[in-house]
Every structure is written in structure tokens, then in C-alpha cells.
Amino acid sequence: MDKYQVIKTLGEGTFGVVIKCVNKETNEVVAVKRLKEKITWDDAIRLREVKALKKLNNHDNVIRI
């Protein structure tokens, strides 16, 4: 998170918070989802969102898992 400057919180859910950030190097505006500390990797991998991201791993706007 050191390379991003936080602008504001966009939303919050059970497993984390989504924040609007700016990349300090490129000035690109991005949304970053930060998982809450109490979430384990085993919990995260079961999330529907993570399962969907795995299927979309060839898109430029989707992180690779």
C-alpha cells in the first residue's frame, strides 16, 4: 500500500473495505479492496468474488490469483 495514496473509503463489507486510491508513480486512480486482518487465506479463497476473479485471470483490469 506504500505506492498508493488513499483518497476516500468507497464501501465496507463483511470481509473488507474498498478504498479509492491514486498510484503515486503513475497518478492512476484505482479501487483497492483491503481484506480485514481476521480473514485467513482459506476464508478468502472460498469467497464468490475470488472464485470469479480466478475465472477472469486474463483481463487487464483484474488481478491475477
Contact 7, 27 (CB under 8 A): no
Helix (H, G, I), strand (E, B) or coil at 55: helix
Mean pLDDT, the chain, integer: 82
Helices of type H across 1-65: 41-45, 48-55
> Is the domain defined by 4-55 classed in CATH 3.30.200.20?
yes
Domain ranges of the chain: 4-55
**Whether pLDDT at 19 is above 70:** yes
pLDDT average, residue stretch 13-39: 88
pLDDT tier at 10 (50, 70, 90 boundaries)?
very high
Q: For residue 41, count CB atoms less than 10 angstroms from its CB and return exposed for 0-12, middle for 13-18, buried for 19 or more.
A: exposed
**Whether pLDDT at 14 is above 70:** yes
Contact 44, 52 (CB under 8 A): no
The reported pTM is: 0.61
